[in-house]
Amino acid sequence: MDVESEAFPCHFDEAARAASDVIELLEVLWERGRGTVPPAPVSAAQVRVLYVLDREEGINLRTLGEALGSTPSSVSRLCDRLQAVGLVERAPSPVSRREVELRLTGRGRAYLRELRDLREKSLRTIVAAMPPASREALAEGLRKFRSVADEAVPWCGRRAEGGVRSA
């Protein structure tokens, strides 16, 4: 146990349960907005593909599958559907002729931007109703959570173009 854990005896199970409850609530909020963003309804799994491609511009199917924890055939089908609606494009890799790079299209970036805007609008409404001290505690807790998550799941912390989210 580290020094911080000893100084602040935290109920880890309680914190994990609270985080899980919030994630479930966020999933419900996210579902509301996901179906309203053109071009077409995109599944939660497809949105995860878009998030990874936004962070890892030009990755191949194998790397995408590793990031998602999915089988190559599942990832390929997800990308087929996203390509069919114009959100993802495949291009030959400049490094290996046997590999294909995956990239968001301009339409894919616009989709993510609009989806994120809708989701952030929902969150702003909720966060605005919190007392200022609670908002600050939430922000600090989420920054620390993100820092630890970046170490646990390295692709989560990467951002395209020098650390700036592209969409």
Q: What is the mean pLDDT of residues 80-105?
A: 91
Q: Is it the case that residue 159 has pLDDT exceeding 50?
A: no
pLDDT at 24: 87
Q: What is the pTM of this model?
A: 0.74
DSSP string, 3-51: HHHHHS---HHHHHHHHHHHHHHHHHHHHHHHTTSSSS---HHHHHHHH
SS3 at position 104: strand
Q: Where are the alpha helices (DSSP H) in the chain?
A: 3-7, 12-34, 44-55, 61-68, 72-84, 106-128, 132-152, 154-157, 160-163
Q: Is it the case that residue 157 has pLDDT exceeding 90?
A: no
- Domain segments of the chain as ranges: 29-163
* Predicted confidence (pLDDT) per residue in 31-89, tens digit: 776 666 766 678 889 999 999 999 988 999 999 999 898 998 999 999 999 999 999 99
Q: What is the mean pLDDT of residues 18-31?
A: 84
Q: Is it the case that residue 129 has pLDDT exceeding 90?
A: yes
Which residue type, as a one-letter code, is found at position 7?
A
pLDDT at 133: 95
pLDDT at 15: 82
pLDDT at 40: 67
Give CA separation, 165 vs 36, 51, 69, 99, 110, in Å: 22, 10, 22, 25, 12
Q: How many other β-carbons are positioned within 10 Å of the β-carbon of residue 47?
A: 18
Please say whether the beta carbons of 37 and 69 come within 8 A: no
- Which helix (H) or strand (E) segment is 90 a member of? strand 88-92
Band (165; pLDDT cuts 50, 70, 90): very low
pLDDT at 49: 95
The domain 29-163 is placed in CATH, from the list 1.20.120.1200, 1.10.10.10, 3.90.550.10, 2.60.120.10, at 1.10.10.10
